[in-house]
Structure 1
Amino acid sequence: MSVPPKPVAAARRGTGPEYGAVRRVLDGDTYEVLLPAGLVRVRLLGVDAPELGQPFGQQAADSVARLLRGRLLEVNRGAADVYGRTLAGLRVAVEGGTGRKWLRVDSSAVVRGWAWAYEPGHTTPRWALLQQLAQLRHWGLWKCGNAAPVRPAVWRAYTKQEKLACWGGCSW
């Protein structure tokens, strides 16, 4: 029985994009990607998706998995975050009528309603208008209105009772 390789978090800056494939979607913004250098745990830049254990977390992860599975990824790696994940920009290859096109995974997750636009240190995140569009259309985690979703950082700080209270009211 072989042991799966442990993901690496080494940055590869300034050398251009790498190409690979997703091996596992851990949640809506964290993936294991197989690159020429090996298996890399990637944290998507520009977004924050719900944790798997919070409302809409599994749906967000499943949505991203459907988008990425079996497709070529372009990965632009940056530094590692405090959890050892490689921060990266991702684009996925999609076939169109005129050949291959590249779709940004960050903006796609936000406009589909599966993640918040998130850029620490910025007053207005890059994808804020796409988030507003998803909110207006009640897509994804905005299905039950703008007050229902809880940001992951807030969710992690909740007590068990507070988390249970979040599950009520809006069914998928």
Structure 2
Amino acid sequence: MRSSTLRRHLGLKHEFQYRQWCKANDFTSMIPKDVKIRKNAAEAAAASQTIIDDHAVPLPRKERVIPYSDELFQQAAIEWLIETDQPISALEHPRFREMIGIAACATNGVKIPNCKATRQSIIALFKKNLYDLWTQFAVSNFCCYMVLSAY
């Protein structure tokens, strides 16, 4: 409370000397009149600024493609082995090599499916294999029946 009374007193009785002192000492005047003038000037500047909200739209997020190098690939493969607790021989597995070969042909990076999509793909593949197996047995049973009924 005391500082506000002092500022008011400086503004009323010693305004000229206080402003000279502020100018000489590179100090911002805290007289209530000066504070109000600065606040109004800031508001006017903010109001006169053009708004670009309608024109500024976020750019679509594009994943950064890391340039390939043998050292970087080896480091990533080793970290993958360690973090997923894979055996070292996983890097020599034919399916892993096939997957890397397919990814190597990509020109704009590789989109890796999330867990939900991967799970759905695995279930669909399982159902397809089960159906193929069922149809194969159905055909085999029919053939066996035809062969046996011929005798």
Question: Shorter-chain TM-score: which interval?
Answer: under 0.3
Rg larger for = 2
- Name whichever structure is richer in helix by fraction: 2
Instruction: Give the alignment's TM-score, normalised by structure 2.
Output: 0.26
